[in-house]
């Protein structure tokens, strides 16, 4: 149980385009989803926290207009990187949870912006 999927697993896009990453909780209803960013050989940095039906809460330094997060249902959250640039290339990982439980992590999405 407690499986979280992400789609796509890898995406390559041109600079200036937008990319959408989906995060789904497959077998539970996720009241909260988190989005992390991980640079090579570095730790996970929390980008934002999203509760179903509410606006996401972004961490300091994360541009909310660039990283659009939507948590429209209890099983789906999306992260859209708008007008992507090469410096946005990274590994994006989502996690999902319900109440005060552990976070269940997705397998991650590798974004490469050319």
Partner 1 sequence: AQSVTQPDIHITVSEGASLELRCNYSYGATPYLFWYVQSPGQGLQLLLKYFSGDTLVQGIKGFEAEFKRSQSSFNLRKPSVHWSDAAEYFCAVGASGAGSYQLTFGKGTKLSVIP
What does the binding site for partner 1 look like in residue numbers (CB under 8 A)? 4, 6, 31-32, 34, 42-44, 46, 49, 51, 57, 91, 93, 95, 97, 99-103, 105-108, 110
Nearer to partner 1, 13 or 98 (CB): 98
Q: How far is the CB of 81 from partner 1 (least distance, A)?
A: 19
Nearer to partner 1, 6 or 78 (CB): 6
| Cα 64 to chain centroid, rounded | 13
- Count of other CB atoms within 10 angstroms of residue 3: 13
Report the distance separating Cα 82 and Cα 99, nearest Å: 30
Sign for the CA dihedral angle at 4, 72, 54, 70 comes to positive
Q: How far is the CB of 1 from partner 1 (least distance, A)?
A: 13
């Amino acid at each position: 149980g407690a499986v979280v999927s992400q789609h796509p697993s890898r995406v390559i896009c041109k600079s200036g385009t937008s990319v959408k990453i989906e995060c789904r909780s497959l077998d539970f209803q996720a009241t909260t989803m988190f989005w992390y960013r991980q640079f090579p050989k570095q730790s996970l940095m929390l980008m934002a926290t999203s509760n179903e039906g509410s606006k996401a809460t972004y961490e300091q330094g994360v541009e909310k207009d660039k990283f659009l997060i939507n948590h429209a249902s209890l099983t789906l959250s999306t992260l859209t990187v708008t007008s992507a640039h090469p410096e946005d290339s990274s590994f994006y990982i989502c996690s999902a949870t319900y109440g005060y439980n552990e976070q269940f992590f997705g397998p991650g999405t590798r974004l490469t912006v050319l």
